[in-house]
Amino acid sequence: MMKGKILGIETSCDDTAAAVVAGGKTILSNVISSQVDIHTRFGGVVPEVASRSHLEVINAIIDEALLRAELDFSQLSGIAVSYGPGLVGSLLVGVSTAKALAFVRRLPLAAVNHLEGHIYANFLTGATIGFPFLCLVVSGGHTMLIWVTGHSQMEILGRTRDDAAGEVFDKVARALNLGYPGGPVIDRLSAKGNPASINFPRALLKGEENYDFSFSGLKTAVLNYIHERKAQQIELNLFDLAASFQAAVVDVLVQKTYMAALAKGARQVLLAGGVAANAELRRRMREVFVPKAIELIYPPPELCTDNAAMIASAGYYHLRAGKIAGWDLNAAPSPEL
């Protein structure tokens, strides 16, 4: 099992993904079928449409992952699947498929929390990661600071009390008719803007050892700014607006992470989740942590967004520890980490 090859399956939202990872660290294949073109017309993910789209392609994606890895099922050591959090209909497609394959092929099955999977994307970077470490998980559905002391040993230090950072990026982009997903577009526009041009609020929720986040106030402030300018027929400077909004989000993420890292004496800080691909967030994190001799690790952009390689990596360590899921495994839209 130490060098086992694990097939990972990920269908938590709108990406159908399958991958094969060896030894928890080496990607043999990583195949993703995106539904962005389907959902763009709606300005966000439509759960029923996402579920049906997964059903249409999942078998072909798994076949492609095995083909690219030059393996067949007889050469696998196990199967790992994301069982939540996520859209329950989408999750059911992946869970049902993984259970059927594991049963028929007589392979052990690992149930991986999607958020844990994002953390394990860092184990696929080639970096030497040692416990304990601090990880900022920031995505469309979650913003969390997690203290990791061992495989599957995690303490949530802080989380968002309302909107997640990625969710706010999407909502602001929608208000500006920038399309879906909003994060990459705002990140590109921000590079040409002045982040100090508009003073948007930073909700830091001050308090001793308070590592929670709140972005709903910022979202409201930005949307009000947009509506007021339109009502007054004042042309918006998209570059400055995007840069100022993004700076407000990044300031909070960086400050909270820095506070937690100092309190815990962290030697390594990891980034994970779709927003971890944000260029400004990475730049600011390097600016803060590198001079303090705290190692900063983050995955390449293709491993920040939803993918099955991270699920396979986490699943490898589950199976190595003997954590095998039963046939009663079900999709869980909001499981605890």
| Displacement of CA 289 from its chain's centroid (Å) | 21
pTM: 0.94
The share of the chain scoring above pLDDT 70, in percent, equals 97
Please, which pLDDT band fits residue 2 given cuts at 50, 70 and 90?
very low
Tens digit of pLDDT for each residue in 106-152? 999 999 999 999 999 999 999 999 999 999 999 888 999 999 999 99
* Residue 214 Cα distances to 159, 161, 211, angstroms: 9, 5, 10
Rounded distance, CA 210 to CA 207, Å? 5
Assigned token pair, 329? 């495994």
Q: Containing H/E element for 57?
A: helix 47-69
Q: Which residue has the higher pLDDT, 3 or 5?
A: 5
Q: Are 15 and 33 in contact (CB under 8 A)?
A: yes
Tens digit of pLDDT for each residue in 26-70? 999 999 998 777 777 777 778 888 899 899 999 999 999 999 999
Residue 213 above 60 pLDDT? Answer: yes
Contacts of residue 141, Cβ cutoff 8 Å, sequence gap at least 6: 13, 85, 86, 164, 166, 167
> Which residues are 80's β-sheet partners?
8, 110
Domains and CATH numbers, the chain: 5-120+304-320 (3.30.420.40), 130-298 (3.30.420.40)
Q: Are 234 and 262 in contact (CB under 8 A)?
A: no
